Copies of this chain bind each other. A is one copy, B any other.
């Protein structure tokens, strides 16, 4: 059967391998699997969230509140905006999808860094848009500016900090760049890891309210999947001016968020202490990875997230390292598919990280 021809060029996202798969394929005991491939919060779900889910489980025959009244209010309060500035998606992923499908078609151009979140390009290709990437792997605003002047763009994606590499632009530099962008260009500021970046360095902090008041063509995206430890629940949000929000809602399917997810997100927002505690531990543990990399002579990218990218240069082949670790039950992300000979490792708990170093030692010895 013939489908829309633009789909011929669409590839699908390759998710981090789930624990179940490693158990099935390599016969590793589920308890021994260390999953550090998807930048989940390794400290688990807030106990307050767990209690709420257990309390509500019996009500799952009822549809969710499609107005998402309470979660919108909670987010509006958190960011000092109104509900009309908030859109909620099944992960911030879904809001990326809304943005691209609302704005783009076969005549559109989308500008992004060479190595950044894969879904920007996948959603772009779904609409038949032309994808324009900087030469630099990491975000380089001079290159963004040059390409924008040359080609224009319907959407610009800035991932702050950047996944899967970990670097982060300063807020002042971002604002200076945004001054030069036409009001008809939608700029998506993907803040999936902003909680980490702004904890580590105040200069990286993007304040959504200030952003959208200063630049009404911007949308800020946040997620509950990382610092808020709800990756399994699928919920993210966008903050923008009401005209953008209203348009995105036209692409939202009814009931796009489950009842338990709505409740979990509301509960998670109440437990900021848990979140801050997790972030603090993250950067303590990250130092161990930096020391490990230095000891082994690997380059790494200074990271403003909950993961670190180790580059192997001509010492090792990242695909082999990742595959060997997988067989030992340690799941990390090989970045070969992104054109980089590196692995991305989520910063785990102290105990997990110690095991990773031990396993990595063995793997590197074997592949030497």
A→B interface (CB under 8 Å): 1-4, 7, 10-13, 15-16, 18-21, 24, 35, 38, 40-45, 49-50, 53-54, 57-67, 69-70, 90-91, 93-94, 97, 101-105, 119, 126, 183-184, 186, 216-217, 225, 229-234, 243-244, 247, 249-261, 264
Contacts and interface: CB of A to CB of B under 8 A. Distances in A.
B103 A232 contact: no
A168 B65 CA distance: 29
A45 B60 contact: yes
Contact of A60 (B13, B50, B69, B244): B50
A41 B58 CA distance: 13
Given A69-B20, A90-B253, A186 B41 contact: no
Contacts of A183: 1
Nearest to A39: B63
A20 B67 CA distance: 10
A247 B16 contact: no
22 contacts: A4-B102, A4-B105, A7-B251, A13-B254, A15-B66, A18-B66, A20-B69, A35-B62, A40-B63, A42-B61, A45-B57, A45-B58, A45-B60, A50-B58, A50-B60, A53-B54, A53-B260, A61-B229, A62-B232, A232-B260, A234-B255, A260-B260
Contacts of A233: 60, 258-260
Contacts of A24: 69
A126 B250 contact: yes
Interface centre among A102, A119, A183, A244 (most CB of B within 10 A): A102
A152 to B, nearest CB: 13
A44 B58 contact: yes
Nearest to A216: B1
A186 B260 contact: no
Contacts of A13: 66, 253-254
B102 A3 contact: yes
A15 to B, nearest CB: 4
A63 B253 contact: no
B20 A45 contact: no
Q: Which 10 A-B pairs have the closest CB atoms?
A: A232-B259, A15-B66, A53-B57, A61-B229, A18-B65, A63-B231, A60-B232, A13-B254, A45-B60, A10-B250
B20 A38 contact: no
Contacts of A21: 65, 67, 69
A15 B45 contact: no
